[in-house]
Structure 1
Amino acid sequence: MSAKFDSYQKRRLQSSYLSVVISIALVLFIVGILGLVLLKSTSVANRVKEKVAITLFIKDKVTQKQIKTFRESLLKEEFTKKAIYTSKERAAKIYSKEIGEDFLEFLGKNPLKNGIDIYLKAAFVTPEKMQEIETRFLKNAFVADVSYDKPLIKLLTKNIQRISFWLFVLSAFCGLVAMILINSSIRLSVYSKRFNIKTMQMVGATKSFIRRPFIWRSIKLGMIGAILSLIGLAVVIYYIDKKIPALALLEDYVSLSVLVGGVLLSAFIITWISTFFATQRFLNLKTDELYY
């Protein structure tokens, strides 16, 4: 009879551990998906920003040698992603192709100027910073004028901030839900051991001594759940990369590293905190309160 009861208790305990692992894995999988969306949205936003150019129109008196030196100095600036020089002759050909006729034939001369398109790093593509860059180069002796699409920059910055904010709110909400669900699963697991906790406490064991094995067990279960969620995320990422190669998910090692580290760290922190407070609750209960 005792052997059957022990076997039943063991199966019940294993079932409890399995439910905790599955709960953690599912919740972290969902959080991981949201984390991936948040990380890639930032990456995509930065790519869009880095396609925005600010054009410096060069004065006619500036020589080609001076333009070359000026461009090289621009490449050394902290805000420059790349700088592309376009001669006024090439600009005329491009414009003629766009309008479908050679405007130089009836104008008789080329009114365009040599220009350098500066593609900025994402962090500098904001209305304020681009205004600072414009003001700076308008004072430059080589520059006749500075041009960029101000309404587009304002709209782009506003939309990116709005999308980032709501993605952050959604991720924070899901993170909170994840903590609640994982905490509930771990509390149920610890609840099944409440009599063992009280027995150990009655024979003189300290709270930290009682708590330690529960915390380590929960952390191990959390790591198993995190690994299962990462396997699921790997499958999803591989599938998306095959279907939408433009996102370059498998090539973004930084985002993938942050995602893996975030999932593992979340599993560790949530399980540690949840187990600590769950065991603390039962340690503070009186013996007759354990039955409620």
Structure 2
Amino acid sequence: MSNTAAKRKLRSSYVTTVISISLVLFLLGIIGLLFLNAHRLSTYVKENLGFTILVNDNSREAEVQRLQKILNASDFVREANYVSQDEAAEIMQEELGEDFVDFLGYNPLLSSIEVKVFAEYANPDSMAVIENQVLNFPQVKEVYYQKNLLHAVNDNIEKISLVLGGFTILLMVIAIALINNTIRLSVYSRRFLIKTMQLVGAARGFIRKPFLITGILNGLAGATIAIILLSLLIYGLSNELQGMIGFGNIVLVGILFAIVIVLGILITLISTFFAVNKYLRLKADDLYY
């Protein structure tokens, strides 16, 4: 085989290895994207549950607004908005499409405070404690929130997290196996070179070094291609899922890209190390099998 043909074959092997690594890392990046954004999604859902405080009829507006300020200063409250009787009537009229106040002759609705809590407090146990605390205020008549919905959201989020976690682990194992096999095939094509260097007295570390450097470069190149593909995917999804997936949270995106780079380098480095060691241990006669 001529040197030109050998170089072409070697270059083709590098390209195939890098493409294989990049596609596997791209799939891992998608799972990482889902996993990292799952927390944002669960936080978004939980922080939009909240509860409604119905105010007593005899409570003065100044007292209710003071209660609103107390709630806004609480550790568990993300925001608390006061809704007067007139505002509640306007909202109800828009929903019903008719003026029920004129029909009834009076406004039966109560003033209320719409409260949104932080995600860590949006669970049944915490909400029960918060409800008891709020009911102690004399201005409060009733605290209302959808308990069944709260239970369902928390249960489903836990199930989704477990399934996503299990799927991530499974894909990680598959990814490592695929990259490992790709690198082993690449090293296999140069097994005679490894043995020749060993027979002329080259130390194992000396033989291993260029392969490890190549493995790192392949991992880095594959990670770079995977990051480009992930960037295009995130950009495309950002238009459809505004506020959930996008480059708005640069820290989250940076963490994802860093994970892809680290995985690309580590997996290729470790796989190359063991693949080269395998042929360093083999006898010359065993290289033909």
| Shorter-chain TM-score above 0.5 | yes
Q: SS at the partner of 1:30?
A: helix
* Deviation, structure 1 residue 164: 2.8
User: Cα 1:212–1:65, aligned 2, differ >3 Å: closer, same or farther?
Assistant: farther
Moved more, 195-204 or 207-216: 195-204
1:262-281 equivalence runs, <5 A: 262-281=259-278
Question: 2:79 matched to 1:94?
Answer: no
Q: SS at the partner of 2:280?
A: helix
> Within 2, Cα distance between the matches of 1:288 and 1:150?
72
> Within 1, Cα distance between the matches of 2:3 and 2:100?
93
* Deviation, structure 1 residue 85: 1.1
AA matched with 2:163: W
AA matched with 1:89: D
Moved more, 217-226 or 43-52: 43-52
1:1-292 equivalence runs, <5 A: 5-60=2-57, 62-99=59-96, 100-103=98-101, 106=104, 108=106, 112-242=109-239, 245=242, 247=244, 249-292=246-289
User: Cα 1:101–1:65, aligned 2, differ >3 Å: closer, same or farther?
Assistant: closer
Structure 1 residue ranges without an equivalent (≥5): none
How many residues are aligned here? Answer: 288
Taking every aligned residue pair, what percent have the same amino acid on both sides? 36
User: Cα 1:64–1:227, aligned 2, differ >3 Å: closer, same or farther?
Assistant: same
Q: SS at the partner of 1:250?
A: coil
> Within 1, Cα distance between the matches of 2:70 and 2:205?
62
AA matched with 1:156: V
State the superposition RMSD in angstroms.
2.7
User: Cα 1:262–1:148, aligned 2, differ >3 Å: closer, same or farther?
Assistant: same
User: Cα 1:78–1:200, aligned 2, differ >3 Å: closer, same or farther?
Assistant: farther
> Within 2, Cα distance between the matches of 1:265 and 1:15?
25
* Deviation, structure 1 residue 152: 0.9
> Within 2, Cα distance between the matches of 1:78 and 1:144?
22
> Within 2, Cα distance between the matches of 1:160 and 1:132?
22
Q: SS at the partner of 2:75?
A: coil
> Within 1, Cα distance between the matches of 2:102 and 2:255?
54
> Within 1, Cα distance between the matches of 2:71 and 2:203?
66
> Within 2, Cα distance between the matches of 1:234 and 1:268?
19
> Within 2, Cα distance between the matches of 1:121 and 1:133?
12
Structure 2 residue ranges without an equivalent (≥5): none
> Within 2, Cα distance between the matches of 1:244 and 1:171?
22
> Within 2, Cα distance between the matches of 1:68 and 1:245?
34
| TM-score (norm: length of structure 1) | 0.85
| TM-score (norm: length of structure 2) | 0.86
Contact kept, 8 Å, 2:40 with 2:244, in 1: the verdict is no
* Deviation, structure 1 residue 21: 0.3
Q: Deviations over 1:41-84 (max 9, x none)?
A: 44333222222121223345554444333323322333222111
Q: SS at the partner of 1:55?
A: strand
AA matched with 1:58: V
